[in-house]
Amino acid sequence: MASKFDAIVIGTGQSGPALAAAMAGRGMNVAIIERDLFGGTCVNTGCIPTKTLVASARAAYVARNAGKYGVNIDGNISVDMKAVKARKDDVAGTSNKNVESWMRGTENLTIFEGHGRFGSDTTVIVGDETLESDKIFINVGGRAFVPDISGLENINYFTNSNMMDVDFIPEHLLIIGGSYIGLEFAQMYRRFGSEVTVIEKSESLIGREDPDVSETVKEFLENEGINIRLSADCLSVEKETDGNISVIVECEEDNNKVTGSHLLLAVGRTPNTHDLGLENTGIKIDERGYIKVSDKLETSVKGIWAIGDCNGRGAFTHTSYNDYEIVAANLLENDPRSVDDRITCYGLFTDPPLGRVGMTEDQVRKSGRKALIGKRMMARVGRARERGETEGFIKVIVDADSKEILGAAILGIEGDEAIHCLIDVMYAKAPYTVISRAVHIHPTVSELIPTVLQSLEPFE
């Protein structure tokens, strides 16, 4: 006999626990299912552990370059990767335990540990138990995509998940994939002491960004000694007799074989929808396996929602949490919020970081709309000069008619924080003059944003 609940949540990523707690707080009898680690990707193998590693890598980088600031450090700078990993495990582990403790301490909430699969449109099977509800929320997230590369089956390779287990410094780390995840790991391990080669099949790094962003990122990574191979279509991988790994590529360069000690795959993500038993339901997915949802995040089956990375409407912790807010507002508050109202924003957490919001310059140009653009190099920013970190720029694009901000990129020191000045104005649908006439604190990165907006010029 099935155990009946007012709601079932499958997965404890960023949106699932918050939604489960909100419904339980309303007196609903809620079941939440977790098959592995509480907290999902962000807490265990994504944002929190990787940014903790980034912090350790930056500490090593700053120490090695302290002399530029008049600070002398006697002796060699070395990295203890076991200690680095232990620190990462402590930070991520605390977050994991906090999520689990939160769930276990929530009244009206029952935890089921195991793999949940749909038995029908209204039932989920976990081990020997069948759970039933007319409200089911899928929060199963995603995992690293493994490409079909010849010879890969014979190689012990890393993804972002098992890379979290590394407690040593690879002699030469090969990274297939020159986008957000791959580049963060590339800089991180270069600063730890590895030789690093990034292999990217496209003509540029992070291909969804504008060329000036991609080129600037490439330049500062190469300045740190990272090898970058572009237009390199991976044909096969093979293990050498000495234990090293070679990647055979087809590219414009003469050397079509890249050899290193370890291999990291960072070529994208895929949703965890393959083993949910969706074939037992009327839930529709797209060609990549993402669950199709409405603007209110409801699936093709009434009473079933998909939230977080598995719905293809966002691939970030902040979009997943916003999914919870949208569903909760519609379901519990009678507040008709829609995912279509969300403005795209994200960061690339290299050093310096990239903060991005809205449309790229290329997208605006292709739209054919009248637009204005302003751009200033980070070398003009007092904070950047004082810190000795002047790579990058601030770029803002504005609709010439409505005066609303269409998009922006802040690539440079604290760009991932300064971008929020623009995000908030965009959500307010206010004209750019609201911020161009504002007085910002000196000396900060944000103080140059009004200056950029005061010097807008029409697209050429």
If pLDDT is split at 50, 70 and 90, which confidence band does 352 have? very high
Q: What is the mean pLDDT of residues 34-54?
A: 96
- Please say if the pLDDT value at position 190 is more than 90: yes
| Percent share of the chain, pLDDT over 70 | 99
Where do the H-state alpha helices sit in 266-398? 317-332, 361-367, 382-387
Superfamily holding 3-143+270-341: FAD/NAD(P)-binding domain (3.50.50.60)
Would you list the DSSP string of 88-99? HHHHHHHHHHHH
The CA distance from 57 to 79, in Å, is: 9
Q: Residue 82: enclosing H or E segment and its boundaries?
A: helix 81-104
If pLDDT is split at 50, 70 and 90, which confidence band does 235 have? confident
The CA-CA-CA angle for residues 345, 351, 354, to 5°, reads 20
Q: What is the mean pLDDT of residues 327-356?
A: 97
| Cβ-based neighbours of 287, under 8 Å, separated by 6 or more | none
Using one digit for the tens of pLDDT, what is the confidence trace for 91-121? Answer: 999 999 999 999 999 999 999 999 999 999 9
Q: Hey, CA dihedral for 322, 325, 326, 327, is it positive or negative? A: positive
- Please say if the pLDDT value at position 304 is more than 70: yes
The answer to whether the CB of 34 falls within 8 A of the CB of 96 is no
If pLDDT is split at 50, 70 and 90, which confidence band does 251 have? low
The CATH code of domain 345-458 reads 3.30.390.30
- Please say if the pLDDT value at position 252 is more than 90: no
Residues of the chain with CATH 3.50.50.60: 3-143+270-341, 152-267
If pLDDT is split at 50, 70 and 90, which confidence band does 382 have? very high
Q: What is the mean pLDDT of residues 320-331?
A: 98
- Please say if the pLDDT value at position 216 is more than 70: yes
Percent of residues in the chain assigned helix, strand, coil, to nearest 5: 35, 25, 40
Q: What is the mean pLDDT of residues 121-145?
A: 97
> What integer pLDDT is reported at residue 453 of this predicted model?
98
> What integer pLDDT is reported at residue 1 of this predicted model?
75
The CA distance from 277 to 237, in Å, is: 34
Global confidence as pTM: 0.96
Mean residue pLDDT across the chain: 96
- Please say if the pLDDT value at position 253 is more than 90: no
Query: 47-51, 154-158, 252-256 — which is least confidently predicted?
Result: 252-256
Using one digit for the tens of pLDDT, what is the confidence trace for 432-447? Answer: 999 999 999 999 999 9
| Cβ-based neighbours of 396, under 8 Å, separated by 6 or more | 373, 374, 375, 405, 407, 408, 422, 432, 449, 452, 453, 456
Residues of the chain with CATH 3.30.390.30: 345-458
Whether a cis peptide bond, with omega within 30° of 0, leads into 147 is no
The CA distance from 413 to 445, in Å, is: 7
The CA distance from 377 to 212, in Å, is: 11
Active site amino acids: 442
The CA distance from 140 to 446, in Å, is: 37
Using one digit for the tens of pLDDT, what is the confidence trace for 410-440? Answer: 999 999 999 999 999 999 999 999 999 999 9
The CA distance from 48 to 317, in Å, is: 10
For the chain, the residue count is 460
For domain 152-267, which architecture applies?
Answer: 3-Layer(bba) Sandwich (3.50)
